[in-house]
Amino acid sequence: METPDPAGVKKINWRQFGKHWTVVFILAVLAAFIIWGMLQAGPWIRKFQDWRAARALQNQLEKLYRNDKYGGKTPEETFDMFITALEKGDVELASKYFVLEKQGSWLKTLREYKNKALLLDFVQELKSTREKWEKQNLGDPNTVVFKYKTVVEKDTVTDFNGQKINIPKGNYTNETVFQRYSSGVWKISEL
């Protein structure tokens, strides 16, 4: 950096000094760019991680659907299997005839019916509705809806999961919905 002067005065070589500052400036800009990139990439990285987690969950669910063999080749067969399980008092098996998302809540409900000795009444009600079914065409080969009419002759109060439900007398239209899984079995979606 310094060059000796014939007079004995040291001179600064500004060209070499400038080169060093240029390198420092380039490194500072590069560091700033890297820090900015990391801050900007954070949301993208999180989105990618979320996408990967969702994809893994979807693959896991698809595997569960493919491997689920509880159900019949037709919606009617699944419904009959469901009723048979209830008649035997096997609420664990009966709950497996529902779509995966609803099996837990239906298992809880069916256990309550069993504990309160209401299963046989529930089975009779299901058999009665099965006789009134009218199949509805939705145009979706993997979903079948059966509608049926019910007449409530007098105002009724029902206890459901500790909650009192008032059912006024009148004519009602209800439906039972089935979905076909990729495994080929039909599951109860709505009852």
User: Tell me: the pLDDT tens digits for 48-83?
Assistant: 788 888 888 888 777 877 777 888 899 999 999 999
Please determine, for residue 14, whether its predicted confidence score (pLDDT) is greater than 60. Answer: no
When mean pLDDT is compared across 30-34, 76-80, 87-91, 154-158, the lowest value belongs to 154-158
- Neighbouring residues of 100: CB distance < 8 A, sequence distance ≥ 6: 61, 64, 65, 68, 187
In this prediction, residue 78 carries a pLDDT of: 92
Q: Give the pLDDT band (50/70/90) at residue 17.
A: low
Q: Is 136 left (phi over 0), alpha (psi -120 to 50) or beta?
A: beta
CB-based contact 189:175 (threshold 8 Å) = no
Q: Give the pLDDT band (50/70/90) at residue 86.
A: very high
Please determine, for residue 22, whether its predicted confidence score (pLDDT) is greater than 80. Answer: no
> pTM of this prediction?
0.63
In this prediction, residue 175 carries a pLDDT of: 86
Amino acid found at 179: Q
- Let me know if domain 68-190 sits in CATH 3.10.450: yes
Q: Give the pLDDT band (50/70/90) at residue 28.
A: confident
CA 86-90-96 angle, 5° bins: 85
Q: Report residue 142 as tokens.
A: 């993997």
Count CA within 13 A, CB hemisphere, residue 150: 17
CB-based contact 149:162 (threshold 8 Å) = no
In this prediction, residue 12 carries a pLDDT of: 56
